[in-house]
Amino acid sequence: MVGGVAWGIASGVGVGWLLGLAAARLVAFLRSRHGQALGLEGFFALGLIMLSYGAALAVHGYGFLAVFAAGVAMRRVEHRTSGRKTSKETVGVVDSEDVEATSTNPDKAHAFVAESVMGFTIELEHIAEAVLILLIGALVSRYWADMLTWTGAAVVAALLFVIRPAAIQLALIGSRASRHQRRLISWFGIRGVGSLYYLMLSLEQGPRAELLPLVPWVLAIVAVSIVLHGISATPLMRRYA
């Protein structure tokens, strides 16, 4: 069991990282040297997601982690070529008639790909987020009685206010993030997509009867996280800015 989990994590991250590096460098090379693979950044993003996920599953790795690692690797390539500048600063203002020249510029190709893919994935994320919230709402309406318990409330409070902030603070040891940035990251974290993913995976591959009691707890954590983070996001980010 432990060996399978370790292999799933290692192989998923490894496959995703390699594919993200290879895809980012290949597209930038084709654009800057040969003027090929221009446009259609949305399809590039979808292709990388599907390829990473499928390749990870083929070697019995976790596809979810592979997709995440591919995105991180792609941004890593862009950061190496752009230095401390953000992708927006590197690309600059792009005239609608000068898109091809910018995308084939060797100094801007990586940043242009990263910025274009990021814009598409943000739009895709908003669509997926709306669908996911509708799904969570439907599930909550079924399990709401099991969610409203003192045990469930204690688990939600512990995870949101103690365990997750502590885990993120430990993960950020050695990073350049300021104390205020660390607090923001600790509070917002991830709103629960990973929790739902691994819950479904566990129910499919593990002892279903023993894992079913976790369903209302996970739903409660995700629902409370969405509400609290949604309410606090705007004022906290304004204060941070």
Residue 63 near residue 54, CB atoms below 8 Å: yes
Average pLDDT, the chain: 77
In angstroms, the CA 71 to CA 80 distance is 15
Q: Tell me which of 54-68, 104-118, 200-214 is least confident.
A: 104-118
Reported confidence tier of residue 40, pLDDT bands at 50, 70, 90 = low
Q: Which pLDDT does position 112 carry in this prediction?
A: 62
Tens of pLDDT, residues 128-173: 777 878 888 888 888 888 888 888 889 888 988 888 888 888 888 8
**Within a 13 Å sphere around the CA of 158, how many CA atoms are in the beta-carbon half?**
8
The whole model's pTM is what?
Answer: 0.61
